[in-house]
Amino acid sequence: MVCPCDWPEPVVRVQSLSESGKPVIPERYIKPPTDRPSFISSPPDINIPIIDLAGLTNDREATLREISEACREWGFFQVINHGLSGELVDGVREIWREFFHESMEVKQKYANSPKTYEGYGSRLGLQKGAILDWSDYYFLHYLPSNLKDHNKWPATPSSLRETVEEYSKEIVRLGSVLLEVFSINLGLQKDYLQKSFGGEDVGACLRVNFYPKCPQPDLTLGLSSHSDPGGITFLLPDENVSGLQVRRGEQWITVKPARHAIIVNIGDQIQVLSNAIYKSVEHRVIVNPDKERVSLAYFFNPKSDLLIHPAPELVTPETPPLYPSMTFDEYRLFIRTRGPQGKSQVEALKSPR
């Protein structure tokens, strides 16, 4: 079903399950053994690269190289000195934490439907009887501005809308900075990727994830393994509670966030545009028995009706185009029709040869 209007089953708030104090989680949240987090598989001394963006002004060549290597080797890195103040990043995260601690009656006013996903939600995907993730979320649009409807953003806490506006503006600015850096690093015209994303008409939407405490964290996941379908994701993690794991070969690396850092990851659309020089890497989230966790995933996307395809400069007889042309709208439909696969979906697009 492509555009359903309601969830296939009554929605259960994970926060309510957590607050019930029951020592066991419902069967719906228990993952098959192969998908469960294995805490031992993450080597403690490995982390994704940390890149100081002040270097783009002070030591440009070296910083471009660091970013290039991180995109090619990891698909994930954290940035510091990104231009967003510590006060803003802490403030926006805490304001959302406050929202999730509002009464259920307040939050339910924003309950979402699968038609647009906007609002307060507790599941992704529509497969009846699916095994669910241990998280609630809030999803909203910022760009294009005709989709932004402040009535769909929480009215409480009272400064939330203003803070989210300020944060969103900064993320879009950072998105343009990185599109230019990626273009240069890929040997393209410096405005190539920004133009491919629609110039000023990019898309930007936010999912705030709330992972309540979980009595049996070894049996479930806060968010199942996936790659991000869009362009670039800017993730503001919970500084005090780790949870994000990035796939590296057969291992899962637990990200250790640096203070006030923003985590950047390559999405499927950049994998296509770069003809797989940059990879959209799978990641997932584990949960915690003693601590809740809040994260903000900002999805910076191409304008949804533009054709996205490998940049012609990156296509050679040795490196033929790996993907067909497709708009982001078509790609999202392709993903929704296939349903969640627990892995990167863009590989399934690869042109047969």
Site residues for ligand AKG per CB under 6 A:
207, 209, 223, 228, 235, 237, 243-244, 283, 285, 295, 297
Three-class secondary structure of residue 27 per DSSP: helix
Q: Please, which residue, 94 or 305, has the CB nearer to ligand AKG?
A: 94
* Beta strands 50-52 and 76-80, pairing class: parallel
Q: Please, which residue, 112 or 295, has the CB nearer to ligand AKG?
A: 295
Classify burial at 353, counting beta carbons within 10 Å of its beta carbon; exposed 0-12, middle 13-18, buried 19 or more.
exposed
Q: Please, which residue, 137 or 197, has the CB nearer to ligand AKG?
A: 137
What minimum distance in Å lies between the beta carbon of 226 and ligand AKG? 7
What minimum distance in Å lies between the beta carbon of 284 and ligand AKG? 8
- Check: CB of residue 83 under 8 Å from CB of residue 173: yes
Q: Please, which residue, 61 or 290, has the CB nearer to ligand AKG?
A: 290
Q: Please, which residue, 183 or 295, has the CB nearer to ligand AKG?
A: 295
Instruction: Quickly count: other Cβ atoms within 10 Å of residue 294's Cβ.
Output: 21
- Check: CB of residue 196 under 8 Å from CB of residue 306: yes
What minimum distance in Å lies between the beta carbon of 225 and ligand AKG? 10
Positive or negative, the Cα torsion across 95, 175, 300, 226?
negative
Q: Which residue has the tokens 């790996």?
A: 322
What is the signed CA dihedral for 96, 127, 283, 216, rounded to 10 degrees? 70
What minimum distance in Å lies between the beta carbon of 184 and ligand AKG? 27
Tokens linked to 158:
């009272």
Classify burial at 22, counting beta carbons within 10 Å of its beta carbon; exposed 0-12, middle 13-18, buried 19 or more.
exposed
What minimum distance in Å lies between the beta carbon of 233 and ligand AKG? 7
- How far apart are alpha carbons 311 and 187 in whole angstroms? 10
- Check: CB of residue 331 under 8 Å from CB of residue 280: no
What minimum distance in Å lies between the beta carbon of 134 and ligand AKG? 12
Tokens linked to 295:
């994260």
Q: Please, which residue, 228 or 292, has the CB nearer to ligand AKG?
A: 228
What minimum distance in Å lies between the beta carbon of 190 and ligand AKG? 28
Q: Please, which residue, 18 or 209, has the CB nearer to ligand AKG?
A: 209
